[in-house]
Structure 1
């Protein structure tokens, strides 16, 4: 997907790039190269490593190109995190389409009313969420590192904070939707817990030299069992 000036999110909001608009395909490609280079610098050096000269060198473009598209470092940082958000939500949407929606379509209220049915659902979902975390901390590890930088920068930078809140709301909405479908009586609160737990498990995995995904799956399973146990009547 090429960089566009406005990217629609699932909740109808728009991700808006702040830098100079690209009017031609070649121009758009160059701006994309610059933003991809800035992401790589965040991964290796953190946000403070983003400088016009460093980004231009990493992107293989003239220094004048970075100052043409981005009037200052703040604008470059904002658009870099906008690109990150676009990429991160694409991963979540792919997970939703491949695992989450098909899984939900197979759930019936009666499944949640029996112990065997509920345990089967819990085991299946815990396994799928484990796969998601494995992907995030493996294939998407670099993007997860950017996410950690994103959160810290959001505390310091009001414009990044607005972007982070938009990103979180998109994830939160998906979590609430799922929890409503499994009959949670407090879907908003349970969504907060679920997102916090996944983020904590991802962060712990980043710190570990040998991640224990079996433990992660059992942790997820434990939470989901607590979530559905009130629905079980037998």
Structure 2
């Protein structure tokens, strides 16, 4: 087989795997984890059901890959936040508030799906390392930026999870202006706030 043909097959395989991962997240967004099956994901991805088994040993492996993909999206979010935010406390608080508001508004279905997968890890040990990856990534990013007590970082991240969960069930979803006061208070030990 020629190298070009092998590369073409590899690219086609990568596209199909990506389509399956994207479809899995859409199924969780729409139907919850209870709606996840080989057949449902294959239908959503537009691939034969056997393709799911070819790329993933089982549903748990697919869900792990979906959680890892979500963690990678978080890395991208953090990188974009860093690019557009000056390195001072007040600006960071606002940027985080805007990102949380976007997660509740524009990416609401994805945020719900991610939390549902995250909570599923409590019942399925195979998903736990992938679920913890979110926390490890966020902690690592904060550690790189500031020198603070790791317990303070854990408390802030846990509180942000709580803010997001409360926002998801709110009658009127909060915006950045609603998140900002709580974040300013939470982030006081983590970021040097200039006022």
TM-score by length of 1: 0.70
* 2:160 aligned residue: 198
Pair 1:220–1:66, CA change in 2 (3 A)? same
Gaps of 5+ in 1: 1-21, 108-120
Change (3 A) 1:173 1:53: same
Q: Which residue of 2 aligns with 1:216?
A: 179
Quote the residue 2:113 is aligned against.
Answer: 146
**Matches of 2:61 and 2:93, distance apart in 1:** 40
Q: Distance in 2 between matches of 1:135 and 1:160?
A: 26
Residue 157 (structure 1) aligns with: 124
Larger Rg: 1
Residues of 2 paired with 1:189 and 1:223: CA distance?
13
1:69 to 35, 55, 68: 55
The reply to whether residue 207 of structure 1 matches residue 169 of structure 2 is yes
Q: Hey, what does 2:3 align to over in structure 1?
A: none
Q: Distance in 2 between matches of 1:76 and 1:223?
A: 35
Contact 1:50–1:77, Cα closer than 8 Å, also in 2: no
1:139 Cα deviation from its structure 2 partner: 2.4
Q: Which structure carries more relative contact order (alpha carbon 8 Å, separation 6+)?
A: 2
Q: Measure, in 1, the Cα distance between the counterparts of 2:69 and 2:92.
A: 29
**Superposition RMSD on alpha carbons, in Å?**
2.5
Give the TM-score of the pair, scaled to structure 2: 0.83
Please tell me whether residue 42 in structure 1 is matched to residue 4 in structure 2.
no
What SS class does the counterpart of residue 139 from structure 1 fall into? coil
The answer to whether the Cα contact below 8 Å between 1:153 and 1:160 also exists between their aligned partners in 2 is yes
